[in-house]
Amino acid sequence: MTNTIICLGDSITFGYPLGPEFSWVNHLYRRTGINLVNRGVNGDTTLDMLRRYERYVPASKVTHVHILGGANDAWMGLDMAATKRNIQEMVKLSRQQGIIPMLGLVTPLTSDPIEGGTFLPFGMEAMVSWLARYRNWLSDYAVSESIMLIDYYTPLCIPGTGQGDGQYFYDECHLNDKGYMLMAEIAERAVLKLL
């Protein structure tokens, strides 16, 4: 059976603001030729992703599902316990359906995007704190469940700061083409090892 990966996520998977042609998913396809399905939707929370999982993933006849989400949950200040349950449910469903799950570590935020874009209407402090706790949980959860976790966070940060390196960002939270290309490089190393 040919490996096919469905990439379930939010705007970072969709490729906002440039569109799916410039997404990390499409860059990864061009680099590897792996069959990839981009199911990123701008603004999606993990609950939205779970609902779409049930609608799209089983019908897509895929071998793997790449799950990358949580930034919009943080932006909306949602209950992290619910976010964790949504991730756990997607993993559970995938395993019940014989689909191998992969998790992505959510990308960082930056206060210094090189393109000067502004997206967040208020301070980032609460979001940064929420996402830091969520990433810690994701890391522990992936280890405890023996799930591949792809670290998109660290390579996009200014070393030692936990802040996104502005050269990779269009605005405070969305990447530019250089950032999406770096995500594809990171994904390539991990995915080829898994496949």
pLDDT in tens, 151-164: 999 999 999 999 99
pLDDT band at 121 (very low <50, low <70, confident <90, very high): low
> Is-contact 63 99, C-beta < 8 A?
yes
Structure tokens that stand for 35 in this block: 């069959």
Q: Where residue 125 sits, what CATH number does that domain have?
A: 3.40.50.1110
CA distances 133 to 9, 52, 74, 181, Å, are 19, 25, 10, 26
Q: Indicate the pLDDT class of residue 114, thresholds 50, 70 and 90.
A: confident
What is the span of the domain harbouring residue 139?
4-194
Count structural domains, the chain.
1
Tokens of 78: 């949602």
pLDDT in tens, 10-55: 999 999 999 999 999 999 999 999 999 999 999 999 999 999 998 8
When pLDDT is averaged across residues 74-98 and rounded to a whole number, the result is 96
Both tokens assigned to 193: 């090892």
**Checking DSSP bridges between strand 4-9 and strand 35-40, what pairing results, if any?**
parallel
**Which residues does residue 36 pair with via DSSP β-bridges, in sequence order?**
5
